[in-house]
Amino acid sequence: MRVFKFGGASVKDAAGIKNVYDVLQQVGYEDVLVIVSAMGKTTNALEEVIKNYFDKSPELNSSVQEVKKYHNQILLDLFENDKNEVFAAVNAQFADLEYFLAHNKSPNYNFVYDQIVSYGELISTTILSHFMSFKGIQTQWLDVRNFVKTDSTYRDAEVDWDLTQKNIANNIKRKILNITQGFLGSDENNFTTTLGREGSDYSAAIFAYCLNAESVTIWKDVPGVMNADPRYFENASLLNQISYREAIELAFYGASVIHPKTLQPLQKKEIPLYVKSFINPLLPGTRVAKGADLEPYLPCFIVKRNQLLISLSSIDFSFIMEENISEIFGLFHQFKLKVNLIQNSAISFSVCVEDKFGNFNELNAILSKKFKVDFTENVTLYTIRHFNENAAQTVEENKTVLLKQVSRETMQIVTKEN
């Protein structure tokens, strides 16, 4: 079986859905499982709904209507008339969402988030699977929550591999086009959970692992994995093949083309991952497999913007030692700051972190009681894998370098734009 994943960008409008059909026509859809994300920026739009819900904002209704309107327009563009049963099916999902908003009693933000945000994927898969039927392809729509079981860590759920494996092994029909949702799972009480933003790549890997799939293909708006994000680097070039290890490194440092959790399950079973263009599906793209690196290596650039550089030094010139460091890390964990770079010296300790949840001020108040805290906001972290002098120069040009760290294969540079 082959597992395909189509992300938000590939299904952002009616033309995108039609293109998925074309891709499947070209590469074949027998014995295929398709994992689909929410359409375009729907997850962000639903996050707005969640915000309005908790703020008790008068905008709540209009934010829901906006999501409805967007999907309705896609339906009108795809289907000849609104007699097609897909209209009723999508309406029913929006009715469920509105019922939840009207009747929910839980004050748990993360729980509510997952119950609401999941409609993005439930609706996108409903639309895709009806469109395939409309075009004469027999499909099986699966509710992923009957397959991927997780713990109850809403918004960042941990997969229960044993249960998931059993569900998937016993209940997926082969020889047919199966369509299901990325990003979602369910906990032991069957409440919806999610695997973390951008988690649909990971969903594809979970299914591939449990099905012993022949391969996974993630279809993207780029030709494959490139040596830099082509949005920011004009001369980015395609990497034809890379090893799991290289892919894990790139994803770990923030190459957003592959979700970092995707590689491990695939690597365990040596299932190859293809990253291909949904615009040119017959081009080879990038193959990620065991030992597949091409040498010599090209320098690979990864950019993380909007980082925070924090330096802690001891107030009394005592050393920052193991005990302090473990306490500091405990706090970073507690306040959900993601540490992307660490540098330690005798009496000071610097970290480049991402404050996704806006918790730094609160943390700073605690740290300042024990340490002298200096910080610079809005810095950029560049990571160069397989760096050379030229590559480093390109990054440093016209910028102030605040910190630099070099290891055998990787150079990291924290800069502030001039």
For residues 381 and 341, the answer to whether their CB atoms sit within 8 Å is yes
Residues 188-217 that bind ligand ADP (CB under 6 A): 198
Closest distance between ligand ASP and the C-beta of residue 182, in Å? 5
What gap in Å lies between CA 310 and CA 352, rounded to an integer?
6
Which residue in this structure is represented by tokens 């800069």? 415
**In a 10 Å sphere around its CB, with 0-12 CB exposed, 13-18 middle and 19+ buried, how is residue 284 labelled?**
middle
**In a 10 Å sphere around its CB, with 0-12 CB exposed, 13-18 middle and 19+ buried, how is residue 178 labelled?**
buried
148-187 footprint of ligand ASP as x/- string (CB under 6 A): ----------------------------------xx----
Q: Which of 23, 184, 204, 257 binds ligand ADP (CB under 6 A)?
A: 257
Q: Among 90-98, 155-163, 193-201, 226-234, which window interacts with ligand ASP (CB under 6 A)?
A: 193-201
Angle at 352 between CA 350 and CA 353, to 5 degrees: 125
For residues 144 and 180, the answer to whether their CB atoms sit within 8 Å is yes
Q: Among 36-44, 67-75, 287-295, 332-340, which window interacts with ligand ASP (CB under 6 A)?
A: 36-44
Whose Cβ is closer to ligand ADP: residue 149's or residue 385's? 385
Closest distance between Mg ion and the C-beta of residue 256, in Å? 7
**In a 10 Å sphere around its CB, with 0-12 CB exposed, 13-18 middle and 19+ buried, how is residue 201 labelled?**
buried
| By CB under 5 A, residue 249 contacts Mg ion | no
For residues 301 and 387, the answer to whether their CB atoms sit within 8 Å is no
Q: Among 77-85, 167-175, 219-227, 393-401, which window interacts with ligand ADP (CB under 6 A)?
A: 219-227
Contacts of 215 (CB under 8 A, 6+ apart): 2, 3, 208, 271, 272, 273, 274
Q: Which of 14, 16, 32, 37 binds ligand ASP (CB under 6 A)?
A: 37
| By CB under 6 A, residue 276 contacts ligand ADP | no
CA-CA distances (angstroms) from residue 61 to 24, 47, 78? 37, 13, 26
Q: Which of 24, 101, 168, 198 binds ligand ASP (CB under 6 A)?
A: 198
| By CB under 6 A, residue 7 contacts ligand ASP | yes
Looking at residue 283, the DSSP 8-state letter turns out to be S
Q: Which of 91, 243, 256, 405 binds ligand ADP (CB under 6 A)?
A: 256
| By CB under 6 A, residue 222 contacts ligand ADP | yes
- The site partner of 199 among ligand ADP, ligand ASP, Mg ion, none (C-beta below 5 to 8 Å per kind) is ligand ASP
- The site partner of 124 among Mg ion, ligand ASP, ligand ADP, none (C-beta below 5 to 8 Å per kind) is none
Looking at residue 226, the DSSP 8-state letter turns out to be B
Q: Which of 114, 121, 187, 198 binds Mg ion (CB under 5 A)?
A: 198
Which residue in this structure is represented by tokens 């007699």? 83
Strand, coil or helix: 40 = coil
Which residue in this structure is represented by tokens 């994000």? 229
| By CB under 6 A, residue 84 contacts ligand ADP | no
What gap in Å lies between CA 70 and CA 73, rounded to an integer?
5
Looking at residue 87, the DSSP 8-state letter turns out to be H
Q: How big is the site for ligand ADP, counted in residues (CB under 6 A)?
A: 18
Q: Among 191-199, 213-221, 284-292, 363-371, which window interacts with ligand ASP (CB under 6 A)?
A: 191-199
Q: Which of 16, 40, 120, 260 binds ligand ASP (CB under 6 A)?
A: 120
Output the CA torsion sign for 112, 114, 120, 122: negative
Closest distance between ligand ADP and the C-beta of residue 377, in Å? 23
What gap in Å lies between CA 403 and CA 418, rounded to an integer?
15
Whose Cβ is closer to ligand ASP: residue 147's or residue 349's? 147
What gap in Å lies between CA 184 and CA 201, rounded to an integer?
11
Q: How big is the site for ligand ASP, counted in residues (CB under 6 A)?
A: 12
Question: Which residues make up the interface to ligand ASP (CB under 6 A)?
Answer: 7-8, 37-38, 43, 120, 182-183, 197-200
Question: Which residues make up the interface to ligand ADP (CB under 6 A)?
Answer: 7-10, 37, 198, 220-222, 225-226, 228-231, 255-257
